Chain A
Amino acid sequence: MNEINQVRKPPVATTGIIGWFRINLFFNWTNSLITLFVIYCLYQFIPWILDWTIFSADFKYNYLGEQITNQEMCSRNLDPENGGACWAVIYVRFYQFIYGFYPKVEVWRVNVAYVMLAVALLPLLYTQLPYRKYFLYFTYIFPVIAYFLLNGGLGFTEVSTNKWGGLLVTLVLGCTGIALAFPIGIMLALGRRSKLPVISMMCTLFIEFIRGVPLITLLFFGMVMLPLFLPEGIDMDGLVRVLVAVTLFQSAYMAEVIRGGLQAIPPGQYEAAKSLGMSYWRMNLLIVLPQAIRISIPPIVNTSIGLFKDTTLVIIVGILDLLGIGRGTLADTNWLGLSYEIYFFVSLVFFIFTFGMSRYSLYLEKKLKTGINMGAD
């Protein structure tokens, strides 16, 4: 009689930590061998990397206690046996890495913009945020505020964009490119699927042309040829030209990603929306796009991460982004030979941003999946 209430538990050896180890790391002897080999490699590598990056590294002073002002003073150049990384180069050039050549008196404006960017992203990242609606209003007007803050106008002194550089340029290009390309990409994707042949053909032509050309070519195009199309007397800012090129490039890719999502929506969804009397735009905005974008989150984030990294290509048209500042520093005789440190730092900064995006997309996928079985019909 008691047996009815007894819940049979799975065997101990298949659950919990021990079970996990047994199944995943020591399932059979080849598996165990690989596990041991990997542990050995990690044992060799981790202490070495920690020693080089942290324990034996110089941050501001070398091992003699002197403040480092050039590469000759790095511990590893004074005593090759002794030193690790020489992070002093990052310390000394930190300002350039983060702000480029932005005037020091005005740099608070960039800092304010950075903080505002974080606040503007908050309601997008956390949908549970209290007073999210008001935060979102801020997000919408943030680009305008940021424009006046960074560029000048409305009482702020103008800071020409050729003084911008480093992380500032990387973030401006990355964020603007991604943010503008998203709506443009949606319009292009809808346009390409439109039943009106002229619209569909124009969108297809645009997408295929932009996608068929390397980003570098588009950047040159923006730099050299865009001014030719503008009326005389109007000079387009260099950064804006690059921004146009980057946005067009990203839009074409985004359009194809979203089109992929649109194709996954069963025709029945369109029919149901139409039979309820919805217009084309309502049907797309309320029924089709929410589902299509949800399906496309992984590739959307994938192309966005791609673009964020591709912004480093602007170096070839003379704009110094984070990597550009790094390469500039390397060319400085004071800091010759510190390429490990500089590339490590630049990689780390890019990794932090891209890893953040990737984590966010996973969170989003998980959140949107709860309670919804998209494959039900």
Chain B
Amino acid sequence: MSEESIISLKNVNKWFGDFHVLQDVNLEVKKKERIVVCGPSGSGKSTMIRCINRLEEHQEGSIVVDGIELTGNLKNIDNVRKEVGMVFQQFNLFPHLSVKENITLAPIWVKKMPKAEAEELAMRQLEIVKIPEQANKYPGQLSGGQQQRVAIARSLAMNPNIMLFDEPTSALDPEMIKEVLDVMVDLANGGMTMIVVTHEMGFAKTVADRMVFMDEGKIVEEASPDKFFNNPDSDRTKLFLSQILHQ
């Protein structure tokens, strides 16, 4: 297991004003590894993954993604963002564009792909997320679960090496959570490197190679799912698990 890390966070620190939101965070992610990050709200887990594609700027420490260090260098940032796909809690589809246009936009304008090829790609991605029949609708006409699947397809169309999921099912009605998780499980089985912030512990048990538990800006515990759920080291983890598993 001496394989090179694809994502490496070293002593990352970040403040929002005076609030120390990330405190000496260290995380190594290997290629094809699936990490599930959990923790109470305000623990810095979203901020951490948003630092990985520079939607947030870290102030101390280093973040290296696929050999590219994230600094103020705009070129590096663009290159990292081409490697990393992201799925948001609020879907963030572009409401003025149809589903197909949402997916083809970045391949056409960022990757300079010919339109016909991009549309073919979009249809393939929609097949993968199982909603090809919605291609010509607008986001506002879709259910939350469908919108989130379009968002996943939109990210995948850029052919990323790494996918970040920021609480992808938290804004969904309960009966739509499964359809999104199913797509994510397929993706994990296909060998995608994934970092998923979620409270879906069932999902975590099925796909995670490693669990990361954060609290108050620190990584409190890092363990295999088996150890994490059955025999965690820290009392904070035990308390958290007892609370969310007895909902």
Contacts and interface: CB of A to CB of B under 8 A. Distances in A.
B88 A271 contact: yes
Given A286-B109, A372-B95, A372-B96, A275 B86 contact: yes
Interface string A174-202: 00000000000000000000000000000
B53 A373 contact: no
B55 A282 contact: no
A274 B138 contact: no
Of the four ranges (under 10, 10 to 19, 20 to 34, 35 or more), the interface on chain B belongs to: 20 to 34
B110 A286 contact: no
Nearest to B82: A277
A303 interface: no
Contact of A274 (B55, B105, B141): B55
A269 interface: yes
Interface string A349-377: 00000000000000000000001111111
B95 A279 contact: no
A268 B96 CA distance: 14
A376 B55 contact: no
B140 interface: yes
A274 B90 CA distance: 15
Contacts of B147: 376
Nearest to A291: B96
B140 A373 contact: yes
Interface in A42-91: none
B53 A275 contact: yes
Interface residues of A, number: 25
Contact of A268 (B81, B90, B105, B139): B90
A272 B158 CA distance: 13
Given A286-B109, A291-B95, A275 B55 contact: yes
B78 A272 contact: no
A374 B147 CA distance: 14
B153 to A, nearest CB: 12
Contacts of A278: 106, 109-110
Given A294-B96, A376-B95, A377-B95, 14 more contacts: A269-B94, A271-B92, A274-B81, A275-B155, A276-B81, A276-B155, A277-B82, A279-B78, A282-B110, A373-B140, A374-B95, A374-B96, A377-B90, A377-B92
Interface of B: 53, 55, 78, 81-82, 84-86, 88, 90-96, 105-106, 109-110, 137-141, 147, 151, 154-155, 158
Interface of A: 266, 268-269, 271-279, 282, 286-287, 290-291, 294, 371-377
